[in-house]
A = this chain, B = another copy of it.
Amino acid sequence: MAMRFSQQAAQNLAAIREKKPLVHNITNSVVMNFTANAILAMGALPVMADAENEVEEIVAVADALVLNIGTLTEGRIGSMIKAAQKASEQRTPIVFDPVGVGATRFRTETAKNIIDTTPISVIRGNASEILSLRHKASQPKGVASAHTVDEATPTAKIIAKELNTIVAITGHVDMVTDGLREIRISNGHPLMSYLTGTGCASSAAIGAFLAVENDALRATAMALAFFGIAGEAASKNASAPGTFMGCLIDALYAITPEDLRRGCRIDLS
Protein backbone atom coordinates (compact mmCIF):
# COMPACT_ATOMS: atom_id res chain seq x y z
CA MET A 1 0.00 0.00 0.00
CA ALA A 2 2.79 2.43 0.99
CA MET A 3 4.58 1.41 -2.18
CA ARG A 4 1.56 2.09 -4.34
CA PHE A 5 1.01 5.39 -2.56
CA SER A 6 4.51 6.66 -3.30
CA GLN A 7 4.38 5.51 -6.92
CA GLN A 8 1.07 7.25 -7.38
CA ALA A 9 2.49 10.39 -5.73
CA ALA A 10 5.34 10.35 -8.21
CA GLN A 11 2.93 9.99 -11.13
CA ASN A 12 0.85 12.86 -9.84
CA LEU A 13 3.87 15.15 -9.51
CA ALA A 14 4.77 14.31 -13.12
CA ALA A 15 1.16 15.07 -14.12
CA ILE A 16 1.28 18.47 -12.38
CA ARG A 17 4.40 19.40 -14.32
CA GLU A 18 2.90 18.25 -17.59
CA LYS A 19 -0.61 19.72 -17.21
CA LYS A 20 0.38 22.83 -15.25
CA PRO A 21 -2.94 23.14 -13.38
CA LEU A 22 -4.08 26.67 -12.57
CA VAL A 23 -4.36 27.11 -8.78
CA HIS A 24 -6.50 30.08 -7.78
CA ASN A 25 -5.55 31.46 -4.35
CA ILE A 26 -7.58 33.94 -2.35
CA THR A 27 -5.09 34.37 0.41
CA ASN A 28 -3.52 36.73 2.91
CA SER A 29 -1.22 39.65 2.09
CA VAL A 30 1.70 38.22 4.08
CA VAL A 31 2.25 35.10 1.97
CA MET A 32 1.01 36.04 -1.52
CA ASN A 33 4.46 36.30 -3.05
CA PHE A 34 5.84 33.17 -1.39
CA THR A 35 2.73 31.14 -2.29
CA ALA A 36 2.81 32.22 -5.94
CA ASN A 37 6.50 31.36 -6.18
CA ALA A 38 5.94 27.98 -4.48
CA ILE A 39 3.20 27.09 -6.98
CA LEU A 40 5.33 28.17 -9.95
CA ALA A 41 8.34 26.25 -8.64
CA MET A 42 6.45 22.98 -8.25
CA GLY A 43 5.30 23.27 -11.86
CA ALA A 44 1.73 24.55 -11.55
CA LEU A 45 0.41 28.03 -12.37
CA PRO A 46 -0.75 30.48 -9.68
CA VAL A 47 -3.37 33.19 -9.90
CA MET A 48 -3.89 35.39 -6.84
CA ALA A 49 -6.89 37.51 -7.93
CA ASP A 50 -9.06 38.41 -4.93
CA ALA A 51 -11.42 41.15 -6.08
CA GLU A 52 -15.10 40.34 -5.70
CA ASN A 53 -15.87 41.47 -9.25
CA GLU A 54 -13.46 39.10 -10.94
CA VAL A 55 -13.01 35.95 -8.84
CA GLU A 56 -15.86 34.09 -10.54
CA GLU A 57 -14.32 34.46 -13.97
CA ILE A 58 -10.91 33.43 -12.63
CA VAL A 59 -12.17 30.37 -10.77
CA ALA A 60 -14.17 29.35 -13.85
CA VAL A 61 -10.89 28.45 -15.61
CA ALA A 62 -9.00 27.30 -12.49
CA ASP A 63 -8.23 23.66 -11.66
CA ALA A 64 -8.31 24.22 -7.89
CA LEU A 65 -9.34 26.97 -5.48
CA VAL A 66 -7.47 27.68 -2.22
CA LEU A 67 -9.12 29.89 0.41
CA ASN A 68 -6.95 31.26 3.22
CA ILE A 69 -8.29 33.54 5.97
CA GLY A 70 -5.06 35.19 7.16
CA THR A 71 -5.32 39.04 7.09
CA LEU A 72 -9.03 38.62 6.46
CA THR A 73 -11.15 41.56 5.29
CA GLU A 74 -14.86 41.91 4.58
CA GLY A 75 -14.00 42.28 0.90
CA ARG A 76 -12.04 39.05 0.82
CA ILE A 77 -14.85 37.16 2.55
CA GLY A 78 -17.22 38.22 -0.21
CA SER A 79 -14.69 37.12 -2.80
CA MET A 80 -14.21 33.76 -1.09
CA ILE A 81 -17.92 33.04 -0.98
CA LYS A 82 -18.46 33.99 -4.63
CA ALA A 83 -15.43 32.00 -5.74
CA ALA A 84 -16.45 28.98 -3.65
CA GLN A 85 -19.97 28.96 -5.13
CA LYS A 86 -18.62 29.03 -8.66
CA ALA A 87 -16.03 26.35 -7.84
CA SER A 88 -18.66 24.06 -6.34
CA GLU A 89 -20.96 24.52 -9.38
CA GLN A 90 -18.07 23.39 -11.57
CA ARG A 91 -16.91 20.68 -9.17
CA THR A 92 -13.53 22.35 -8.89
CA PRO A 93 -11.78 21.15 -5.71
CA ILE A 94 -11.61 23.68 -2.86
CA VAL A 95 -8.92 23.75 -0.16
CA PHE A 96 -9.65 25.75 2.99
CA ASP A 97 -6.84 27.05 5.21
CA PRO A 98 -8.34 28.53 8.42
CA VAL A 99 -5.28 30.58 9.46
CA GLY A 100 -5.57 31.83 13.02
CA VAL A 101 -9.13 30.56 13.51
CA GLY A 102 -9.93 30.75 17.22
CA ALA A 103 -7.80 33.86 17.67
CA THR A 104 -10.72 36.22 16.99
CA ARG A 105 -14.50 35.97 16.70
CA PHE A 106 -14.22 37.42 13.18
CA ARG A 107 -12.04 34.56 11.98
CA THR A 108 -13.95 31.88 13.86
CA GLU A 109 -17.31 33.00 12.52
CA THR A 110 -15.98 33.39 8.99
CA ALA A 111 -14.34 29.98 9.07
CA LYS A 112 -17.48 28.29 10.40
CA ASN A 113 -19.62 30.09 7.86
CA ILE A 114 -17.38 28.97 5.02
CA ILE A 115 -17.26 25.31 6.05
CA ASP A 116 -21.01 25.24 6.72
CA THR A 117 -22.03 26.68 3.36
CA THR A 118 -19.35 25.40 0.97
CA PRO A 119 -18.48 21.88 -0.16
CA ILE A 120 -14.81 21.97 0.88
CA SER A 121 -12.59 19.16 -0.45
CA VAL A 122 -9.82 19.60 2.10
CA ILE A 123 -9.34 21.61 5.30
CA ARG A 124 -5.69 22.04 6.33
CA GLY A 125 -4.58 23.73 9.52
CA ASN A 126 -2.36 23.33 12.55
CA ALA A 127 -3.70 21.56 15.64
CA SER A 128 -5.05 24.72 17.33
CA GLU A 129 -6.83 25.79 14.18
CA ILE A 130 -8.52 22.42 13.66
CA LEU A 131 -9.60 22.32 17.32
CA SER A 132 -10.95 25.87 17.06
CA LEU A 133 -13.27 24.88 14.24
CA ARG A 134 -15.28 22.95 16.86
CA HIS A 135 -14.27 24.14 20.32
CA LYS A 136 -13.99 27.45 22.02
CA ALA A 137 -10.96 27.29 24.24
CA SER A 138 -7.91 26.38 22.22
CA GLN A 139 -6.34 29.85 22.59
CA PRO A 140 -3.76 29.95 19.84
CA LYS A 141 -0.86 32.37 20.33
CA GLY A 142 -1.39 34.49 17.23
CA VAL A 143 -1.16 32.05 14.35
CA ALA A 144 1.10 29.47 16.06
CA SER A 145 -0.32 26.24 17.44
CA ALA A 146 -0.64 25.58 21.17
CA HIS A 147 -1.65 21.94 20.67
CA THR A 148 -0.25 18.72 19.26
CA VAL A 149 -1.46 16.88 16.17
CA ASP A 150 -2.55 13.93 18.33
CA GLU A 151 -4.68 16.19 20.54
CA ALA A 152 -6.56 17.47 17.51
CA THR A 153 -6.94 14.18 15.65
CA PRO A 154 -10.29 13.11 17.19
CA THR A 155 -11.75 16.53 16.35
CA ALA A 156 -10.37 16.30 12.81
CA LYS A 157 -12.11 12.95 12.33
CA ILE A 158 -15.43 14.30 13.59
CA ILE A 159 -15.22 17.33 11.27
CA ALA A 160 -14.25 15.14 8.33
CA LYS A 161 -17.23 12.82 8.89
CA GLU A 162 -19.76 15.56 9.50
CA LEU A 163 -18.75 17.67 6.55
CA ASN A 164 -17.84 14.76 4.28
CA THR A 165 -14.46 16.30 3.70
CA ILE A 166 -10.76 15.61 4.24
CA VAL A 167 -9.07 17.22 7.24
CA ALA A 168 -5.29 17.61 7.45
CA ILE A 169 -3.45 18.64 10.59
CA THR A 170 0.13 19.70 9.97
CA GLY A 171 2.83 19.69 12.62
CA HIS A 172 5.82 17.58 13.60
CA VAL A 173 4.05 14.60 11.99
CA ASP A 174 1.14 15.48 9.69
CA MET A 175 -2.17 13.60 9.89
CA VAL A 176 -4.76 13.41 7.11
CA THR A 177 -8.19 11.85 7.62
CA ASP A 178 -11.48 11.32 5.84
CA GLY A 179 -13.14 10.55 9.17
CA LEU A 180 -12.35 6.86 9.02
CA ARG A 181 -8.87 6.37 7.65
CA GLU A 182 -5.80 8.21 8.93
CA ILE A 183 -2.60 8.81 6.99
CA ARG A 184 0.46 10.09 8.85
CA ILE A 185 3.31 11.84 7.03
CA SER A 186 6.68 12.17 8.78
CA ASN A 187 8.40 14.31 6.14
CA GLY A 188 9.45 17.85 6.95
CA HIS A 189 12.07 19.87 8.80
CA PRO A 190 11.95 22.06 11.96
CA LEU A 191 13.18 25.15 10.06
CA MET A 192 9.83 25.23 8.23
CA SER A 193 8.21 26.55 11.42
CA TYR A 194 10.58 29.54 11.37
CA LEU A 195 9.30 30.65 7.97
CA THR A 196 5.97 32.38 7.54
CA GLY A 197 3.72 30.91 4.86
CA THR A 198 4.94 27.30 4.81
CA GLY A 199 1.50 26.15 5.95
CA CYS A 200 -0.22 28.38 3.40
CA ALA A 201 2.08 27.14 0.62
CA SER A 202 1.44 23.52 1.59
CA SER A 203 -2.30 24.24 1.23
CA ALA A 204 -1.59 25.54 -2.27
CA ALA A 205 0.38 22.35 -3.00
CA ILE A 206 -2.68 20.35 -1.92
CA GLY A 207 -4.66 22.35 -4.49
CA ALA A 208 -2.21 21.36 -7.23
CA PHE A 209 -2.38 17.66 -6.31
CA LEU A 210 -6.21 17.77 -6.15
CA ALA A 211 -6.16 19.02 -9.73
CA VAL A 212 -4.60 15.75 -10.93
CA GLU A 213 -5.79 13.18 -8.35
CA ASN A 214 -9.44 12.36 -7.64
CA ASP A 215 -8.89 10.67 -4.27
CA ALA A 216 -8.73 13.76 -2.07
CA LEU A 217 -7.43 11.87 0.99
CA ARG A 218 -4.43 10.57 -0.93
CA ALA A 219 -3.91 13.79 -2.90
CA THR A 220 -3.62 15.69 0.37
CA ALA A 221 -1.17 13.23 1.89
CA MET A 222 0.91 13.26 -1.30
CA ALA A 223 1.08 17.04 -1.35
CA LEU A 224 2.19 17.13 2.29
CA ALA A 225 4.81 14.43 1.69
CA PHE A 226 6.07 16.37 -1.33
CA PHE A 227 6.20 19.63 0.60
CA GLY A 228 7.92 17.97 3.57
CA ILE A 229 10.52 16.35 1.32
CA ALA A 230 11.20 19.78 -0.15
CA GLY A 231 11.84 21.02 3.40
CA GLU A 232 14.24 18.15 4.01
CA ALA A 233 16.10 18.88 0.77
CA ALA A 234 16.26 22.61 1.58
CA SER A 235 17.79 21.88 4.98
CA LYS A 236 20.78 20.31 3.22
CA ASN A 237 21.61 23.67 1.65
CA ALA A 238 20.55 26.08 4.39
CA SER A 239 20.84 26.07 8.16
CA ALA A 240 18.83 29.21 8.97
CA PRO A 241 15.40 30.42 7.82
CA GLY A 242 16.43 33.27 5.49
CA THR A 243 18.41 31.21 3.01
CA PHE A 244 16.13 28.23 3.77
CA MET A 245 13.28 30.16 2.13
CA GLY A 246 15.03 30.29 -1.25
CA CYS A 247 16.24 26.70 -0.90
CA LEU A 248 12.70 25.48 -0.15
CA ILE A 249 11.43 27.06 -3.37
CA ASP A 250 14.43 25.57 -5.18
CA ALA A 251 13.56 22.13 -3.82
CA LEU A 252 9.91 22.39 -4.92
CA TYR A 253 11.32 23.01 -8.41
CA ALA A 254 14.12 20.43 -8.34
CA ILE A 255 12.49 17.42 -6.67
CA THR A 256 11.81 14.77 -9.30
CA PRO A 257 8.94 12.28 -9.24
CA GLU A 258 11.56 9.65 -8.41
CA ASP A 259 12.82 11.74 -5.45
CA LEU A 260 9.24 11.92 -4.22
CA ARG A 261 8.70 8.19 -4.65
CA ARG A 262 11.80 7.40 -2.61
CA GLY A 263 11.38 10.12 -0.02
CA CYS A 264 7.78 9.54 1.14
CA ARG A 265 7.65 8.64 4.82
CA ILE A 266 4.02 7.77 5.31
CA ASP A 267 2.01 5.56 7.59
CA LEU A 268 -1.30 4.37 6.13
CA SER A 269 -3.47 2.96 8.87
User: How many copies of the chain does the oligomer comprise?
Assistant: 3
Is A196's CB under 8 angstroms from B40's CB? Answer: yes
Q: Which residues of B contact A105 (CB under 8 A)?
A: 54, 57
Q: Which residues of B contact A22 (CB under 8 A)?
A: 141-142
Compute how far the CA of A249 lies from the CA of B191 in the bound complex, rounded to whole angstroms.
Answer: 12
Q: Which of B34, B49, B106, B196 is A54 in contact with, Cβ under 8 Å?
A: B106
Q: Which residues of B contact A51 (CB under 8 A)?
A: 71-74, 106
Q: 1/0 contact trace for A246-261 toward B, CB 8 Å? A: 1111111110000000
- Say how far A36's CB is from chain B's closest CB, in angstroms: 4
Q: A51-B72, A142-B45 are in contact. Are A247 and B253 (CB under 8 A)?
A: no
The SS class assigned to the A binding surface is: mixed
Interface: A61 (CB within 8 A): yes
Compute how far the CA of A195 lies from the CA of B253 in the bound complex, rounded to whole angstroms.
Answer: 11
Q: Which residues of B contact A254 (CB under 8 A)?
A: 239-240
Compute how far the CA of A74 lies from the CA of B53 in the bound complex, rounded to whole angstroms.
Answer: 9
Interface: A100 (CB within 8 A): yes
Q: 1/0 contact trace for A10-46 toward B, CB 8 Å? A: 0000000000101010001111111011001100011
Q: Which residues of B contact A36 (CB under 8 A)?
A: 30, 196
Is B253's CB under 8 angstroms from A248's CB? Answer: no
Is B242's CB under 8 angstroms from A247's CB? Answer: yes
Interface: A65 (CB within 8 A): no
Interface: A152 (CB within 8 A): no
Interface: A78 (CB within 8 A): no
List chain A positions with a Cβ less than 8 A from chain B: 20, 22, 24, 28-34, 36-37, 40-41, 45-51, 53-54, 57-58, 61-62, 70-75, 100, 103-107, 139, 141-144, 194-197, 238-243, 245-254
Q: Which 7 A-B pairs have the closest CB atoms?
A: A242-B249, A47-B142, A240-B250, A242-B246, A54-B104, A242-B250, A36-B196
Pairs across A and B, CB under 8 Å, 18 listed: A30-B48, A37-B242, A40-B194, A40-B196, A41-B241, A45-B143, A50-B71, A51-B73, A53-B106, A57-B105, A57-B106, A61-B139, A239-B254, A242-B249, A242-B252, A242-B253, A243-B247, A243-B250
